[in-house]
Structure 1
Amino acid sequence: MKEAELLVREMIEKIPILAWSCQPDGPADFLNQRWLDYTGLSTEAAVGWGWQAAIHSEDLGKLMDTWLRLLATGEPGEVEGRLRRFDGEYRWFLFRAVPIRDEEGRVVRWYGTNTDIEDRKWAETLLAGENRLLKMMAEDNSLSSILDKLCRVVEELSAGTLCSILFLDSDGHRLRHAAAPSLPASYTAAIDGSVIGPCVGSCGTAAYRREPVIVSDIITDPLWADYCDLASMHGLRACWSTPIFSSAGRVLGTFAIYSHEPCRPSPQQQTMIEQFSHLASIAIERAQAFDALRRSESYLAYAQRLSLTGSFCWRVSSGEITWSEETFRIYEYSPMVKPTMELARQRIHPEDLTLLQENMMGATQEGKDVDFEHRLMMPDGAVKYVKVVACAVRDKSGKVVEFVGAVMDVTAV
């Protein structure tokens, strides 16, 4: 072996990185000790094409396609793939290869490195997952679908774990199933409705204490005394739970990660738990706010119908008009019809048109508030008496931009 090549190999052995060299047609002829120690493979097992045994099966095809392309073109290149560690865990690496040429330009050897990019890939996956969830919220997806997706993203980020989200019911005493796409249905059904307390597994205790509860071994932890058999029956050995808080500090539920093996969360997993429990909080609060708004709108519509009072908004510059359901009902128009000033005029009793015009002129030209009564002539000849009140809304310069008001059917008064 040439002295220069021996020197290169000696240098490769000493650099703090996984490195290797290959023959011009691709088979590996050298892998440094760091590479061998990391993968747990012997030199004999790894040289030639044996190194493929350490590549994740889902990534081997892409990696080989790239490698064969580089061999064919003689160009340097890189590709990402997962490399198996000696303990069986796969981590993401960046594979780089550079050709060495002789004086005539022919490739005589390839040198390459494997750089651990697991943290970068994890951060990219985390960010992509967060963006998917935020997009679902922006698109008004259902809360159940958002929380289900959140659990799946967490399980993707933390292989081998199972994610669960529970709601704390309105009385603040019981936890209800919200999402757990990978947990057995029989298990989620068994814990649904559990009363929170100082010794109620991980989730019930976390909600009660208002703090994270990390149980690394369910079988030996006293918090799981009443649920140990249930968990063991379903192969669950560890559970880390954290409360989900509202922006006001109220407990909304719990976010939990289960494992089939006794273990504690890594720093990465702790970061993930904090970030995704916060996302769950945003999703839950947003859904609750929408529900409250829908209830408020429903109550308002019901109150308007009971009092025979409709509401409206008239934007002066564009002439655009918005009516509530009760206003459509009073004027006896279909809610499918776009309300306009002309449409309203068609219902005004002929003898009251002048009164309407005077009030409209006072409103538009002088910005006066509106308060008057007039009659409506309905298509069947019936006459209604209505009272209209409206106030002007002005911009910062004092210009009237719209009128907001109400119309009340006072026929029976």
Structure 2
Amino acid sequence: MPLSAARTRALRMIEEQVPLQRVLAYLASSAEELCHRNIVASILLLDREGLLRNGASPNLPADYLDAIDRLKPHPDLGTCASAAATGNVVVTRDFLDDSRWAELKHLPIALGFRGAWSMPIKDDRGRVLGTFGSYFFEPRVPTDHEQAVVAQLVPVAARAIAAAHPVDPALAR
């Protein structure tokens, strides 16, 4: 599937008012497919309390998602929490060598992951709505192709979040 087709389908889903979780799950699955299954994607959303909640992580186990549920964004915590706190892309080449993962590295390592990166999802005013994260099974940084794919899907995710929550883009839990 071409990237343009994935974007077009997701935009159509938004227009058809498909539930937000389904649109985000489609975007996460599309990222995995477009990156040749070399990543496992996870979209986290900020809730009304400013905590990270699972938006769509179709290939992560429920117990992992429960363990990271309600993380507070902080520049020195993990990859997604750091990206949400700073509004910048955050790359963790290796969980074993990154102090931001000191308290949490046992969680992804138990699943066989060794690295990750995360791009913030922002609204049109630059406010962070969530993160689009990718996990790797080996220590590495994202390829140019992986970065390009996620960079094209993030604005679609932002649009879906805004469409689902036009007044307050944070998920109500």
TM-score, normalised to structure 2, is 0.92
State how many pairs are aligned: 168
Letter in 2 for 1:254: T
Instruction: Give, in angstroms, the shift of residue 163 of structure 1.
Output: 0.5
Listed as ranges, the gaps of 5+ residues in structure 1 are 1-123, 293-413
2:137 and 2:60 mapped to 1: Cα distance? Answer: 11
Relative to 1, partners in 2 of residues 1:142 and 1:164: Cα closer, same or farther, differing over 3 Å?
same
Q: Which residue of 1 aligns with 2:98?
A: 221
Q: Which residue of 2 aligns with 1:350?
A: none
2:85 and 2:168 mapped to 1: Cα distance? Answer: 26
2:123 and 2:167 mapped to 1: Cα distance? Answer: 15
Q: Which residue of 1 aligns with 2:128?
A: 251
TM-score, normalised to structure 1, is 0.39
Residue of structure 2 aligned with 1:193, choices 67, 70, 74: 70
Residue of structure 2 aligned with 1:171, choices 49, 70, 91: 49
Instruction: Give, in angstroms, the shift of residue 171 of structure 1.
Output: 3.2
Q: Which residue of 1 aligns with 2:161?
A: 284
* Partner secondary structure for residue 155 of structure 2: helix
1:229 and 1:127 mapped to 2: Cα distance? Answer: 37
* Partner secondary structure for residue 264 of structure 1: coil
Instruction: Give, in angstroms, the shift of residue 208 of structure 1.
Output: 0.9
2:38 and 2:151 mapped to 1: Cα distance? Answer: 19
RMSD across aligned positions (CA): 1.5
1:265 and 1:219 mapped to 2: Cα distance? Answer: 17
Measured against aligned partners, the alpha-carbon deviations of 1:30-62 in whole angstroms (never above 9, x if no partner) come to xxxxxxxxxxxxxxxxxxxxxxxxxxxxxxxxx
1:145 and 1:291 mapped to 2: Cα distance? Answer: 19
Q: Which residue of 2 aligns with 1:347?
A: none
* The structure with more strand, counted as a fraction of residues: 1
Measured against aligned partners, the alpha-carbon deviations of 1:320-342 in whole angstroms (never above 9, x if no partner) come to xxxxxxxxxxxxxxxxxxxxxxx
Alignment of 1:349-364 (within 5 A): none
2:39 and 2:84 mapped to 1: Cα distance? Answer: 21
Instruction: Give, in angstroms, the shift of residue 164 of structure 1.
Output: 0.4
Instruction: Give, in angstroms, the shift of residue 290 of structure 1.
Output: 7.5
Measured against aligned partners, the alpha-carbon deviations of 1:46-92 in whole angstroms (never above 9, x if no partner) come to xxxxxxxxxxxxxxxxxxxxxxxxxxxxxxxxxxxxxxxxxxxxxxx
Instruction: Give, in angstroms, the shift of residue 160 of structure 1.
Output: 2.5
Instruction: Give, in angstroms, the shift of residue 268 of structure 1.
Output: 1.2
Question: Are residues 1:236 and 2:113 paired?
Answer: yes
Instruction: Give, in angstroms, the shift of residue 273 of structure 1.
Output: 1.5
Measured against aligned partners, the alpha-carbon deviations of 1:197-234 in whole angstroms (never above 9, x if no partner) come to 12110001111111010111112111111111111111
Larger CA Rg, structure 1 vs 2:
1
1:148 and 1:131 mapped to 2: Cα distance? Answer: 15
Listed as ranges, the gaps of 5+ residues in structure 2 are none
- Identity of counterpart residues, as a percentage? 38
Instruction: Give, in angstroms, the shift of residue 291 of structure 1.
Output: 7.8
Question: Are residues 1:182 and 2:59 paired?
Answer: yes
Letter in 2 for 1:221: D
* Partner secondary structure for residue 5 of structure 2: helix
